[in-house]
């Protein structure tokens, strides 16, 4: 529970907000003055600000760059922000980004879309929800291609500038793409985002990718995101403009499934990487540690497509778990190692086309499986069994192959780079068990409170919560629901029990404050695990947190710490005790 405590000469007010996620981001605020470098916005804020908690800005003013400066952090209070569409030139400075963050423990919902253009970037967006309430997502026009005029098709986030970071956002129900990262958006990072239910449809077409990434120069990193239930592709890494290239893109630890699943007009792939003429080719592409899932009978195109038209440079496919087929077209250099490819339908396990250029490759230590009626390998239109493939190509001398359905349980736990106690959990449950045990000791310390959410219905109540005792968590694989798209689009069926994705979060603990005899009393439940109270004078990204050395006393089932109230501001949080 996040409490804001204001002390003035004539009034004392305590305002209760939403449950706080504790561990690193559980913060209790007791502000008594204006914080340097910290600005606040709220749904009822104004353009005049001045950006204090008592007099916050509105979000549109802050996003326009009219408030704040390089190095500032803009905190979004809980509530619904209706912004429509905003085009902004806001920019920070190298090493001093302007950061927009959700207030810890609150849920900030931003209804609208954002385009960043004509600036040096250096802006960070993190931790909040970006969606669109517009339900007009079905065009009645035929023959309009990708530009119908009777619906507003706008990406949720469009970046045309360098040096942008998008971290732990939830982006859904946008009328076009979730993210569009343009050829101008060098040094862009999209990390830990949950992206789903984006796109539109018409009688003869459908589009809207969860990720649409282009790159003619520089680098882009797309890491640890979950993308599913799009109208279009989940990861469209693609270029088709004259003389353009697709270069310097890394996809690491992402999850994709159910491309095209919210419409029944057009089929898509989960993964599309490559160019079409008149673009030139792709180069410097890395896919590592990614995971996919193909739902049998879903109507999606099963194979992962790496390379389309033209002659491409280098690509690396490393340690991906993709129980789908693979299509590769005309790469000059390729490293393909440590992957699982397993065709589930009539597709080939691997379809390799090198008719335009010879391939120099390190291709080994992979696992292949075929459970459907498809073929094994296809190389330049020649069919191969596994052993002929090994002999004729020289590839896969230490790889494995089977003609059988996948069995057992495969679990991936991906700790979050930016939030301690948070992780993506991906579960392949090939034996269709009703529940699966998951070891999260790499992310949680014993005594830490936690909650686990079903990523396909993230804002539903947690599927599991408690205080971590060091033992594996028992996660349900049945009875889970899927978030319904906003508007007249399709809701895909659950992927369980065979496959489910979860997000582990620091648990909710009620941290409370009260003014008693001129002093601040900070308290939290005794049955919520082992915690140490910390404080800081600012919520800026580089602020140092200090352990409060006061010994808590137990009063009525609560640990209570009493501190004096001084001028300025003090922020409190709990960290897990060792």
Ordered by start, the domain boundaries in the chain are 1-33+510-578, 35-108, 109-402, 409-506
Helix, strand, or coil (residue 77): coil
Burial of 536 (C-beta count, 10 Å sphere; 0-12/13-18/19+)? middle
Q: Which residue has the higher pLDDT, 539 or 32?
A: 539
Give the per-residue pLDDT at 568: 67
Least confident of 381-390, 453-462, 563-572: 563-572
Closest CA to 366 of 386, 344, 345, 392: 386
Whole-number mean pLDDT of the chain?
A: 90
CATH code: domain 409-506 is 2.60.40
Residue corresponding to tokens 């270029």? 239
The string of DSSP letters for 512-550 reads: EEEEETTEEEEEEETTS--EEEEEES--STTPPPEE--S
In the predicted structure, residue 461 carries a pLDDT above the cut 80: yes
Apex 170 CA angle, 169 and 175, nearest 5? 120
C-alpha–C-alpha distance, residues 405 and 369, integer Å: 7
In the predicted structure, residue 30 carries a pLDDT above the cut 70: no
Burial of 230 (C-beta count, 10 Å sphere; 0-12/13-18/19+)? buried
Q: Which residue has the higher pLDDT, 566 or 172?
A: 172
Work out the pLDDT band at 12, boundaries 50, 70, 90.
Answer: very low
Percent over 70 (pLDDT), the chain: 92
Give the per-residue pLDDT at 572: 86
C-alpha–C-alpha distance, residues 43 and 110, integer Å: 9
Q: What is the mean pLDDT of residues 478-499?
A: 97
In the predicted structure, residue 123 carries a pLDDT above the cut 70: yes
Apex 117 CA angle, 116 and 121, nearest 5? 70
Beta strands at 473-476 and 435-438: parallel, antiparallel or unpaired: antiparallel
Q: Would you tell me how many other CB atoms lie within 10 Å of the CB of residue 436?
A: 21
HSE-up of 62 (CA within 13 Å, CB side)? Answer: 30
Q: What is the mean pLDDT of residues 286-313?
A: 94
Q: Would you tell me how many other CB atoms lie within 10 Å of the CB of residue 408?
A: 9
The residues facing 70 across adjacent strands are none
Q: Using the Cα atoms of residue 116, residue 119, residue 120 and residue 123 in order, give the sign of their dihedral.
A: negative
Backbone angles phi, psi at 365, to 5 degrees: 60, 35
Residues 6+ apart with CB under 8 A from 117: 87, 88, 89, 160, 161
pLDDT in tens, 263-283: 999 999 999 999 999 999 999
Work out the pLDDT band at 18, boundaries 50, 70, 90.
Answer: very low
Q: What is the mean pLDDT of residues 459-471?
A: 95
C-alpha–C-alpha distance, residues 290 and 326, integer Å: 13
Q: Which residue has the higher pLDDT, 16 or 209?
A: 209
DSSP state, residue 63: H
């Amino acid at each position: 529970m996040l409490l804001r405590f204001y002390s003035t000469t004539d009034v004392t007010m305590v305002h209760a907000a939403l449950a706080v996620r504790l561990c690193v981001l559980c913060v209790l605020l007791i502000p008594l003055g204006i914080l340097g470098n910290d600005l606040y916005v709220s749904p009822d804020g104004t353009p005049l600000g001045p950006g204090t908690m008592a007099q916050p800005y509105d979000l549109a003013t802050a996003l326009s760059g009219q408030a704040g400066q390089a190095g500032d952090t803009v905190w979004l209070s809980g509530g619904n922000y209706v912004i429509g569409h905003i085009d902004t030139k806001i920019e920070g400075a190298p090493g001093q980004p302007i950061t927009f963050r959700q207030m810890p423990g609150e849920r900030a919902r931003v209804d609208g879309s954002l385009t960043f253009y004509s600036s040096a970037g250096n802006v960070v967006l993190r931790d909040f929800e970006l969606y669109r309430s517009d339900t007009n997502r079905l065009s009645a026009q035929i023959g309009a291609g990708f530009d119908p005029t009777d619906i507003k098709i706008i990406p949720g986030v469009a970046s045309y500038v360098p040096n942008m970071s998008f971290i732990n956002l939830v982006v859904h129900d946008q009328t076009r793409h979730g993210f569009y990262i343009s050829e101008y958006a060098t040094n862009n990072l999209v990390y830990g985002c949950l992206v789903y239910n984006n796109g539109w449809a018409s009688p003869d077409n459908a589009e809207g990718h969860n990720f649409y990434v282009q790159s003619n120069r520089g680098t882009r990193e797309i890491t640890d995101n979950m993308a599913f239930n799009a109208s279009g592709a989940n990861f469209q890494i693609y270029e088709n403009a004259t003389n353009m290239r697709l270069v310097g893109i890394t996809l690491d630890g992402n999850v994709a499934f159910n491309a095209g699943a919210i419409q029944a007009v057009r089929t898509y792939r989960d993964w599309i990487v490559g160019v079409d003429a008149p673009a030139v080719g792709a180069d410097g592409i890395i896919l590592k540690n990614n995971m996919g899932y193909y739902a049998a009978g879903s109507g999606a195109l099963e194979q992962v497509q790496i390379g389309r038209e033209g002659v491409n440079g280098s690509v690396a496919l490393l340690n991906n778990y993709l129980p789908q087929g693979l299509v590769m077209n005309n790469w000059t250099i390729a490293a393909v190692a440590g992957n699982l490819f397993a065709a589930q339908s009539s597709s080939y396990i691997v379809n390799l086309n090198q008719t335009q250029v010879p391939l120099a490759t390190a291709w080994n230590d992979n696992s292949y499986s075929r459970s459907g009626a498809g073929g094994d390998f296809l190389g330049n239109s020649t069919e191969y069994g596994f052993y002929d493939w090994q002999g004729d190509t020289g590839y896969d001398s230490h790889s494995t192959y089977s003609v059988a359905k996948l069995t057992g349980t495969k679990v991936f736990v991906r700790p979050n780079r930016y939030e301690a106690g948070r992780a993506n959990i991906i579960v392949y449950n090939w034996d269709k068990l009703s529940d699966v045990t998951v070891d999260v000791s790499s992310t949680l310390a014993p005594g830490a409170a936690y909650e686990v959410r079903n990523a396909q219905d993230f804002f539903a109540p947690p599927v599991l919560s408690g205080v971590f005792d060091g033992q594996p968590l028992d996660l349900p694989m049945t009875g889970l629901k899927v978030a319904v798209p906003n508007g007249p689009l399709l809701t895909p069926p659950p992927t369980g029990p065979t496959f489910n994705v979860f997000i582990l979060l620091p648990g909710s603990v009620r941290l409370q404050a009260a003014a008693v005899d001129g002093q601040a009393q900070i308290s939290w439940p005794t049955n919520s695990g082992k915690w140490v109270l910390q404080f800081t004078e600012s919520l800026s990204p580089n602020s140092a947190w200090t352990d409060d050395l006061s010994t808590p006393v137990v009063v009525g089932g609560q640990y209570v710490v009493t501190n004096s109230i001084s001028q300025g501001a003090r922020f409190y949080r709990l960290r897990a005790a060792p």
